[in-house]
A = this chain, B = another copy of it.
Amino acid sequence: MSLMVIGTVAFDSVKTPFGEADNVLGGSATYFSVSASYFTSVRLKAVIGEDFPDEHMKVFAKHKINTDGLQRLPGKTFSWKGSYGFDLNTATTLETNLNVLLDFNPKLSDEDRKAGFVFLANIDPSLQIEVIKQLDSPKLVALDSMNFWIENKKEELLKVIGMVDMVVVNESEARELTGTPSLVKAARQIQKMGPKTVIVKQGEYGAISLFGDEIFSAPAYPLEDVHDPTGAGDTFAGGVMGYLASRGVLTSDSLRQSMIVGSAMASYNVESFSLNRLTSLQFNDIVARYNEIKRLTSFDDLK
- Show the binding face of A for B, using Cβ within 8 Å: 17, 86-88, 181-185, 188, 202, 204-206, 208, 215-219, 222-226, 247, 253, 256-257, 259-261, 287, 290-291, 294, 296-303
| Inter-subunit contact A217/B300 (CB<8 Å) | no
| Inter-subunit contact A219/B222 (CB<8 Å) | no
| Inter-subunit contact A299/B257 (CB<8 Å) | yes
Q: How far is the CA of A223 from the CA of B205 in the complex (A)?
A: 16
Q: Which residue of B lies closest to A222 (CB)?
A: B184
Partner of A225, one of B182, B206, B301: B182
- Taking the closest CB of chain B, its distance from the CB of A117, in whole angstroms, is 17
| Inter-subunit contact A257/B298 (CB<8 Å) | no
| Inter-subunit contact B215/A296 (CB<8 Å) | yes
- Taking the closest CB of chain B, its distance from the CB of A271, in whole angstroms, is 13
Q: How far is the CA of A303 from the CA of B246 in the complex (A)?
A: 10
Partner of A253, one of B86, B188, B222, B300: B300
Q: How far is the CA of A129 from the CA of B274 in the complex (A)?
A: 49
- Taking the closest CB of chain B, its distance from the CB of A206, in whole angstroms, is 8
Q: Which residues of B contact A216 (CB under 8 A)?
A: 296-297, 299
